[in-house]
Structure formats: structure tokens, C-alpha cells
Structure 1
Amino acid sequence: MNTYSEAISWIHSRLKHGINLGLARMEWLLKEMGSPEKKLKAIHVAGTNGKGSTVTFLRSILNEAGYDVGTFTSPYIESFNERISINGSPISDDDLIELVRIVKPLAEDLEKGELGPPTEFEIITAMAMYYFANIRPIDFTILEVGLGGRFDSTNTIQPLMTIITNIGMDHINILGDTIGKIAYEKAGIIKEGIPLFTGAKQEEAVSVIRAEAEKKQADIFQLGIDFSIENYQPVQGGEMFTFQMKETRYENLKVSLLGHHQTENAALAAASLLHMKEKGLLHLKENEIRQGLEKAYWPGRMEVLRENPTVILDGAHNTEGLEAFLSTMKDRYGEKKAKIIFAALEDKDLSVMLQLFKNINAEVYLTEFDFPRAAAASKLKEIGKMDDASTERDWRSLIKRMISELAPEDVLAVTGSLYFISEAKPFIMNILKG
């Protein structure tokens, strides 16, 4: 394993093993690697939407307070390496090669045994834990759940804090077909006596999460009850709100990520870190929270790539994400002529998602991309019964043409699957630079 391309090719070769939830393979791998997970001071983040943004807010605030922070996130938007990052900077190619050299022989040994081959996600999770524990030790590690929680490979840690963001209908073929079943899987990250902060809103989800927290004797803090958002208003370049928790009140907090939902993710991050401060786990000042929230940047989430004419990128990859995207589009660009390009994976709840486009006054263009589970543009139109929508299979030609035809007052939004967004962003950036 001498080159970066060889390392990445080997990691991706694990994709053939698909999704295989369970902790036994991961526990075996970590034990053989010297149990790096036990060295980590970790915050564990699960949920349907908002995980990545919440991780970013946490990391940005901790950075402002002077801490070095490792993050493990998925999927990536600009480069594979960003999945394992320190202080927002992706792992180096050389470090990634070294990690593959360490984990590859162990993965091959595991594959020969009764537990079977580790998946790609398990490999990357193990690499991240080893990296943060042994190669680049840091003050705090923030781990984002890949899928569900209970049997996700990240659930091998004993964290300082757990966070569950909003719950929605996603991965229903794996996690269950009701909010309660999905919430049960997410609640699987709750550990004995470890505090939990949640932004879940649905009564069914909250009741499942609270029951699991009570069972584990874990203190639970819920958005809207134990901490809250007041005086929300969209402002130039972001969102503004007041944060309230116990006697702590911070007025006019600003986040640069667009959308009301981002204030909820920001509140989750602030509340959980303030609780850690109260328990003596870290030091934190008000101005560090303020600056951390405002500086937080997360690619592919209502990301404005250009203004006048405006070009936006957003990974609205499920129903809740698309609802948030369309709500933000209405709030911020309701008076402008909007054009939306959309591509999605076929295992999403497409019939519900596509109906949402009927609630916005915009031209909708359906397209497709080269990915194993990507839905064909024609299938999207058929499922959504979208007679007014245009379809084009070649997303590159579509985006190039649309950008060239934009008038100064127009808005073009490219949205849908995060896998699509990761391909589209560099392509769009090249067009805009030209």
C-alpha cells in the first residue's frame, strides 16, 4: 500500500460487502488495534437530519475555546479525506495511507473468521478512532453515526455526551417504517448514566427516547423544554436567535448556515457544551460560543456558491431535509425566480418528497447521476406525477446550460442526494470560476 489511490481503492473495495449492521466485527477490529476507542474523550451524535451541522457547531465552538477536535463524519462533499478531520482540516494523504497499512491485514484476518468481512464504514470508523487516539491525539473527538445508532460501528465508544438531533422517516427498509421504530434505533447510542441532549420533536420519538434514557439512568435535556430558541429572525448571511438554558441567556446569537433548522442544531451544540462545562469537563466562555456558531461552515447545506445570480447547493436527501430546504428557499428567495435541479436515490420516500415541490413556485428539473442506487430522472417524474417538471439524464449538461441562462435576479438551487451534491459541487465551482 504505497499510494493514496491504492489506499482509497482498497477502502472502496469494501463497498461490495454492503451495509451489515452489528458491533461484533467492529469490537474485534478495535481490540486487535489496541482498543483506541477507550482513549477518546468523545461526543456521539445521532439523528436523521442535522447531524453534520451539529458536529460542525460543536467543533467550531470547541476550537474557539482552544481545543483540538477530531471529527468523523459521512458522507464527504469535496474530498474523501474530510470524513476524518482535525479542527476542520481533512486527514493528510500520507496519514490515510498509513492507517490503511495498519487496518488492511486485520480486515483480511477478520474476513477469514466466522464474523465475516468488515464493511467499508467499519473500516473507516476504525481508522478514525485509531488516528485520533494514536497518530494525532486530540482533546475531544466528535463521532457522527453512519446509520441508525444501536448497531452502528460508532456505537463502540463510551462517550462523555450523546446527542440525538431531529428524527424523521429515512432508511425505513433498515431502521423501521415508523417514527417510533427509527427513534428506538437512534436511542441505541444512549449509555448508562451519560447525559443526552435531543432536538427530537415528534411525541412518538420523544417518548421512545425518554424511555430509553430512563432505562439507562441517563439525564435527558430536550429542545423546547430544558433549553430553547427565542426571537428567531433571518438576517443577512445567516440566522439570528436568542438561546435560553436555565439562568443562561444569550441574545442575538448568529449562525452563518442558512435555515431556521440550523438554529436548532446550534442550540443543541451550545446546550450540550454548556452542560459539559458545568460538569467540569471543559472551559467555555460566552464569546467563544458566539464566535464558534458564527464561524461554523458546513459544505453542501444551503451553501451559496455565488450571488447575483444566486447559485445554491443543498443536500436535501430525505423528506425532512427537503422540507427544510424548500422552507428556507421560500423565506429567503420567495420573491425571485427560482429554478431547482433535483436528483435522488431510489430507496428514499420519493412519492412524499416529490409532492413537496408542488408547494413552491419554482421551475423543477429532474436529473440522475451515476451511482448504484440513483433513481432515473424519468422514474422521478413518474413517481411524483410532476407533469410540469423537466427531465434530463445528463446532469452536467443541464447544470452548465442552466447557469449560462440565469438572469441576475434568478436563483438556481441544486439539491437532493448528498452523493449527487459531492459530484456536482466541484463541477459547478469550475463553471463559476470560468
Structure 2
Amino acid sequence: MNEIKDTNPVNFQTAKEAIGWIVGRMEKLGIKPGLSRMQMLLEKLGHPERRLKFIHVAGTNGKGSTCAYLTSVLRQCGYDVGTFTSPYLEKYTNRIQVNGADIEDEALLRLVNEMKPIVDEIGETEVGPPSMFEISTALAIMYFAKVAYPDYVVWETGLGGRLDSTNVVNPVVTIITNVGHDHMDILGDTLEQVAAEKAGIIKAGVPVITAVEPDDVWRVIERTAKEKKATLYSLHQQFSYSNTKSDLDHQTFDFNGPFRNLKEVPITLNGQHQLTNAAVAVMTLEVLRQYYACIVDDEDLYKGLTETRWPGRLEMISNEPRILLDGAHNPEGAATLAAALTNVYRYRKLHLMMGMLSTKNHTGYLRHILPLVDTLIVTEPDFHKKGDASRLAEIASELLHDMNRKVDIVIERDWKRALETLTSRTEQDDLAVVSGTLYLISDVRSWITYQTDSEKGW
């Protein structure tokens, strides 16, 4: 890895200080959609993004899993792969990785010290100060372009697409996994409006892979692709899959694509939705083979898919008692979780602990989950936008009354006490599930795995 010249005075002495400066901007500045600050920042940095091959991934659900599949397969094929993902489950550096290893503290410190004077300069202009996510995005680009030099960068959008800070790159391929009810306070009141925001990452002439449904929402993607003269590969049209086997921790599917067909493609992630995510990833890899001479042997493809892991999504974090983590936090995510709980897992009683942010569609989420649970423990994530546990319990009670169903509802605002309650109620043949915002999943995962609090965040 090359040394980076220190052209500016050192502002921070440690990586921890530098990260503190970045994440501290979240509460001060919040989310600031728009590309003007990012464009100015990258121009002043010499446009490092132009040196990289990006696979740009947007979608309401499934982005992370699709990114994980792509990263695993490309690494198995011998490529160096950078990933930029959000939110992070354990610590800030998780979001910027090369070949599964976090950005090093030394590199992070040098790059942030190089950026800070430029960030301060931009903050004095009419566009205003760059946000936490914008600085993180620029940091990732600088790391990949000036230090690590990966062959591909798997590049996940943060929120939406059109005005997301990641949308300053010209990728080699674009993915829009799906469109659902999430962040509608920012992205729009209808699924068509949300789709239009996500379609904003489509670039002229760059192929697009999507599993977006239903037709009226898909047409938004199709229209944008046509306008941009971007070849569109849609699930159920240009490519499809059929499930051939579904056991716990092992599924296979047949893939049918425009270039070739593949039999008995294996994955170990659970749930019907993971078959869709894997098929989208396979179609993307097929496009890379066809357009960019990416070498993907079948043996490497199958092994890479089999070895894909994605923490916090249908992850069995404990076996005694059985505790399943799943970051479902919107109606579509809840439907996916409910399907897995119905078709994949076996249990005598189901005990669910959930915590949400105040901005989410809690009613839609609970409609999918409540018919399955025997105990509902509502808690609050350790985050400033946390949803009120009592209000969640009220919504659940109203829905249960309409369903003519009785469920034991426990309100425990302290998530560690809620976890103790969940654990104590889960007997040998039962299943405990922790679901909701990834801020809660992150804390619970770190506590069960390491007995420490997480540094979770965006």
C-alpha cells in the first residue's frame, strides 16, 4: 500500500479522534440529501472515484445480502474487493472494507487529516458543511483509490439513490434489488415515488439488474433505463430462478439467464428472499462476465455463494436458548421474516423482542408478525430517534383486538432487561427472535457475542 503525503497539518492524533469528528456530525447535521457537497469535495480531492470500478447497489431490502454475495464470489474468483456498506453493526470501520478487512486505523487517520481542511473550506461556502455520510463516502473512495486499489468496489447506497452521497460514481453495473415502504418521510409518499428515487442511480449505458415488483413500480425502473439507454435485466423477464431445495442452512436453485443456465446453485443463507437476492447477484456476475471479461468459474461461483455470510439477518446467534436475529424494520422485511418463521424454522412457542425507530411503519410491520408470536416484548433501541415502547404496545394491542388474538405483551424500555426477559421465557423447544431496527440488532449481537456494547451507527 502506498504512502499518502501529508500536505496539511495533522488535525487528529488518533483514529478514534478522527472517527469521533465524523460521527459527531450526524446529530449536528443529520441527513442532507443532495450531491453538491459531494461533487465539490471530490473535485477538490482530484476525483479519485474515476480510478475505480463500482457495482452500485440500491433497494429497500436485500442490498446488504446482495452485496455480501457479490463480495464473496468475486473474492473467491481471485479479485480484490472493496465494500462500502451501511449501517454498521459493531464499529465504524466495518463500513469500509477490502477483502473483508476493515480500513486500518493508520490509513483512516491519514486520509481524514488530508480531507479535513477541504471539508472545513466547503463548510464556509453556500453549499454548507458536508454531513457524516458524505465524509464517510469520500473517505471510502479515497481509501480504495489511493491506498488499497481493489479490482471492484461493491458500493451500497445509504438512503434512496438519486440524491444519496454514493451517487457520484459512474459504475460498471447498477443493481436495484426491490422497492418497499421505507424512508417514505424522505423519499416520497408512494412506492412509485420511492422507485423514482432509487432509479436515480441508473447511468447512461450502464446495465441494470433488478428484482423490483409489482408492474407499476417496475415500470418506473424500466422507463428510467430506457431514457438512459441502459440495458435492463429484470427478474421473471430476462432472468429467473426456481427453488430446487430448501432446508435449514442449505438451499439450491436453478438459474435461467440470457447468456447461460446454471443448475443446483447453492446458498446457505435462509429464507425465500435469499434465493431472490442470490439470483440478482448471479445475474450481475453474468453481466460482468459478458461485458467486462470478469472471470467467474462455476466452481468459484458456487463456493462463493455457499460461503456468504450476512450478520444480523436471520442469524442464529445463540443455540441455548435459540435466539434468532433479524433486522427486519419495515413491512416488506416483516413479511420476509414471517415467511421464514413459517417455512424454515420449527418451534413450540415463538417469543419476539422488537425495538423500532420512531420514523418507521410500525402497523404494517406488526400485521405480518403478530399472527405468529406467543410473547411480544417491546423495547427501545439505544438511539436518539428511538420509537416509544408504550406506543408500539398500543398499536400491537389494537391489531390483536382486530385479529381476535391474545398475545402476552411485555413493555421493557431497557433493551438489556428486555433481552433477559426474552432469554428467561425461551424454553428448549421454543424460538426467540430479536427484530427491528439495526441499531437494536447491533447492540444485542455485540452483547451476546462479546458481552460489550456496540458502536453501531450510520
Aligned to 1:41: 53
Aligned to 1:272: 284
Structure 2 residue corresponding to 1:391, chosen from 393, 398, 411: 411
Question: Is residue 250 from structure 1 mapped to residue 293 from structure 2 by the alignment?
Answer: no
What displacement does 1:411 show? 1.0
CA contact (8 A) 1:340 1:363 kept: yes
How many angstroms apart in 1 are the aligned matches of 2:350 and 2:157?
A: 34
What displacement does 1:431 show? 6.0
How many angstroms apart in 2 are the aligned matches of 1:7 and 1:74?
A: 18
Question: Is residue 408 from structure 1 mapped to residue 420 from structure 2 by the alignment?
Answer: no
Of stretches 274-283 and 232-241 in structure 1, the one that deviates more from structure 2 is: 232-241
- Give the superposed CA RMSD: 1.5
The amino acid across from 2:20 in the alignment is S
Aligned to 1:7: 18
Aligned to 2:216: 204
CA contact (8 A) 2:248 2:344 kept: no
Q: Structure 1's 340 and 25: CA in aligned 2 closer, same or farther, altered over 3 A?
A: same
CA contact (8 A) 1:169 1:177 kept: no
Aligned to 1:147: 159
Aligned to 2:9: none
The amino acid across from 1:278 in the alignment is Q
Question: Is residue 175 from structure 1 mapped to residue 195 from structure 2 by the alignment?
Answer: no
Aligned to 1:314: 326
Question: Is residue 187 from structure 1 mapped to residue 207 from structure 2 by the alignment?
Answer: no
What displacement does 1:239 show? 2.3
How many angstroms apart in 1 are the aligned matches of 2:111 and 2:326?
A: 31
How many angstroms apart in 1 are the aligned matches of 2:259 and 2:17?
A: 54
The amino acid across from 1:429 in the alignment is T
Question: Is residue 425 from structure 1 mapped to residue 445 from structure 2 by the alignment?
Answer: yes
Question: Is residue 75 from structure 1 mapped to residue 91 from structure 2 by the alignment?
Answer: no
CA contact (8 A) 2:329 2:365 kept: no
| Secondary structure at 2:203 match in 1 | coil
Aligned to 1:20: 32
What displacement does 1:334 show? 4.3
The amino acid across from 2:21 in the alignment is W
| Secondary structure at 1:156 match in 2 | coil
How many angstroms apart in 2 are the aligned matches of 1:309 and 1:17?
A: 41
How many angstroms apart in 1 are the aligned matches of 2:204 and 2:258?
A: 24
Structure 2 residue corresponding to 1:96, chosen from 88, 95, 108: 108
What displacement does 1:354 show? 1.8
The amino acid across from 2:334 in the alignment is L
What displacement does 1:160 show? 0.3
Of stretches 85-94 and 130-139 in structure 1, the one that deviates more from structure 2 is: 85-94
What displacement does 1:102 show? 1.7
Aligned to 1:229: 241
What displacement does 1:400 show? 2.3
| Secondary structure at 1:163 match in 2 | strand
Question: Which structure 1 segments of 5+ residues have no match?
Answer: none
Deviations 1:219-278 (A, max 9, x none): 000011111111343213132211111352222222121111011111111111111111
- Scaled by the length of structure 1, what TM-score is found? 0.96
- Scaled by the length of structure 2, what TM-score is found? 0.91
| Secondary structure at 1:253 match in 2 | strand
How many angstroms apart in 1 are the aligned matches of 2:135 and 2:451?
A: 35
What displacement does 1:430 show? 4.0
Deviations 1:310-362 (A, max 9, x none): 11111112111111112111112244321110000110111211222222143
The amino acid across from 1:80 in the alignment is Y
Deviations 1:115-138 (A, max 9, x none): 101011000000001110011111
Percent sequence identity over aligned pairs:
40
Of stretches 238-247 and 266-275 in structure 1, the one that deviates more from structure 2 is: 238-247
How many angstroms apart in 2 are the aligned matches of 1:232 and 1:330?
A: 19
How many angstroms apart in 2 are the aligned matches of 1:279 and 1:271?
A: 12
How many angstroms apart in 1 are the aligned matches of 2:72 and 2:155?
A: 14
Matches within 5 A, 1:332-411: 332-384=344-396, 385=398, 388=407, 389-411=409-431
Deviations 1:138-174 (A, max 9, x none): 1001110111111111111011000000110111111
Question: Which structure 2 segments of 5+ residues have no match?
Answer: 1-11, 401-406, 453-458
| Secondary structure at 1:14 match in 2 | helix
What displacement does 1:4 show? 2.5
